[in-house]
Amino acid sequence: MFPKGTKRKFSDSGEEAVSSGDQGPAAPSAAARMLSSSYSLQRQSLLDMSLIKLQLCHMLVEPNLCRSVLIANTVRQIQEEMTQDGTWQIMTQALAAAQCPTDRLVATEVLCRQTDPAAQAGQSPKPYAVVGVEEGYHSEEVVMEGDVETDVTMSTLSPVSPQLSSASYLAGPFGMGPCWEEEEEDGECEEEEEEEDSEECVSEGEEGDGDHLSADSRTGEQVFGTFEIKHPAPPPDPALEELFSDVDPSYYDLDTVLTGMQSAPKMGPYDLLDSLSSHGPTALSSSSSCRSDLNELDHIMEIIVGS
């Protein structure tokens, strides 16, 4: 279960610190938690991990609603506690001000399919795409007889940006050292995207994660894999704003999606980032509600919390 050399003890005893932390919003304990940087780091890691889990989903099969709801609730809990602590404000301000490295994005594959018996049975790797929480929910909607609902929302991409916040925690707690390693893998990613069946790309995306992980030198014991995507260094501010911008929900309309598909039939999630940074296909940049002034994490939290 644990990769060799991982600091299991630290991670799990640290988890106990997280577990036993909450005693209510009393100021003294909040202050005590503030002082415990290890607790804050672990909580932050848990938040990052949860956000990534929400975004990376199977795209060919509908995501598990129960799991998504539980993860979203976890994110909410963390955000509430951080808001009480006052650390939420600090974090969002810090991320907004920070000069994030623009030549690297680190994503962590936490849904290791190599350890999945199905993957071991030789099934083809499930495709991945980046999906926001509410898109994940909306993708369950279906036009049915007599059903008033007329949303036909396609699961789509929301910015992969939370990984940037995790980039600032590369030194990471939980003994996740090996998992946060950056590797030169984008060549492989390119190949995998070319393997995609164009039909599957209506859902924007497929990462041959199983292939990728097997290409990875790690063994099946590894729970994590990592891959890194390089996109050309854009001018910092406009690129970041594009990267973090919301995609107009009208994008989810069937017509727009199909148009998008025709113009860019083999889009993967990281193609999207490339295209955004280089001011790519009009279907994607046509959003009229770009929130260029919001930090991406805050934005995602707003989606989740609905504030």
Partner 1 sequence: LLPPDEGRAGITLTLVSFSDIISTVEFNYSGELLATGDKGGRVVIFQHEQESKNRPHLRGEYNVYSTFQSHEPEFDYLKSLEIEEKINKIRWLPQQNAAHFLLSTNDKTIKLWKISERDKRAEGYNLKDEDGRLRDPFRITSLRVPVLMPMDLMVEASPRRIFANAHTYHINSISVNSDHETYLSADDLRINLWHLEITDRSFNIVDIKPANMEELTEVITAAECHPHQCNVFVYSSSKGTIRLCDMRAAALCDRHSKFFEEPEDPSSRSFFSEIISSISDVKFSHSGRYMMTRDYLSVKVWDLNMENRPVETYQVHEYLRSKLCSLYENDCIFDKFECCWNGSDSAIMTGSYNNFFRMFDRNTRRDITLEASRESSKPRATLKPRKVSTGGKRKKDEISVDSLDFNKKILHTAWHPKDNVIAVAATNNLYIFQDKIN
* CA-based torsion, 302, 100, 169, 136: positive or negative: positive
User: Cα separation of 55 and 269, whole Å?
Assistant: 11
User: Cα separation of 244 and 250, whole Å?
Assistant: 17
* CA-based torsion, 115, 180, 49, 235: positive or negative: negative
From residue 135 to residue 174, the character string flagging contacts with partner 1 as x (rule: CB under 8 A) and all else as - is: --xxxxxxxxx-x----x-x-------------------x
Amino acid residing at 254: L
Which of 51, 56, 78, 301 is close enough to bind partner 1 by CB under 8 A?
Answer: 78
Would you give the distance in Å from CA 14 to the centre of its chain? 23
* Segment interacting with partner 1 (CB under 8 A) among 9-17, 28-36, 279-287, 289-297: 9-17
Q: Is 83 in the site for partner 1 (CB under 8 A)?
A: no
The residue among 242 and 296 lying less far from partner 1, judged by its C-beta, is 296
* Segment interacting with partner 1 (CB under 8 A) among 117-125, 189-197, 211-219, 275-283: 117-125
Instruction: Show the tokens assigned to 21.
Output: 């932390």
User: Cα separation of 270 and 139, whole Å?
Assistant: 21
Q: Is 74 in the site for partner 1 (CB under 8 A)?
A: yes
In whole angstroms, how close is the CB of 306 to partner 1 at the nearest point? Answer: 4
Q: Is 181 in the site for partner 1 (CB under 8 A)?
A: no
The residue among 189 and 201 lying less far from partner 1, judged by its C-beta, is 201
From residue 186 to residue 205, the character string flagging contacts with partner 1 as x (rule: CB under 8 A) and all else as - is: --------------x-xx--
Closest C-alpha to 125, from 68, 36, 207, 67: 207
**Touching partner 1, residues 38-67 (CB under 8 A):** 43, 46, 49, 53, 59-62, 64-67
User: Cα separation of 133 and 160, whole Å?
Assistant: 12
Q: Is 306 in the site for partner 1 (CB under 8 A)?
A: yes
The angle that helices 37-55 and 8-21 make with each other, rounded to 10 degrees, is 100
Q: Is 124 in the site for partner 1 (CB under 8 A)?
A: no
In whole angstroms, how close is the CB of 223 to partner 1 at the nearest point? Answer: 5
Phi, psi for 28 (deg, rounded to 5): -60, -45
Q: Is residue 150 within 8 Å of 143, Cβ to Cβ?
A: yes
The residue among 1 and 35 lying less far from partner 1, judged by its C-beta, is 1
Phi, psi for 109 (deg, rounded to 5): -90, 100
Site of interaction with partner 1 (CB under 8 A): 1-2, 8, 11-16, 18-23, 43, 46, 49, 53, 59-62, 64-67, 69-70, 72-74, 76-78, 110-112, 115-118, 121, 133-134, 137-145, 147, 152, 154, 174, 200, 202-203, 223-224, 303-304, 306
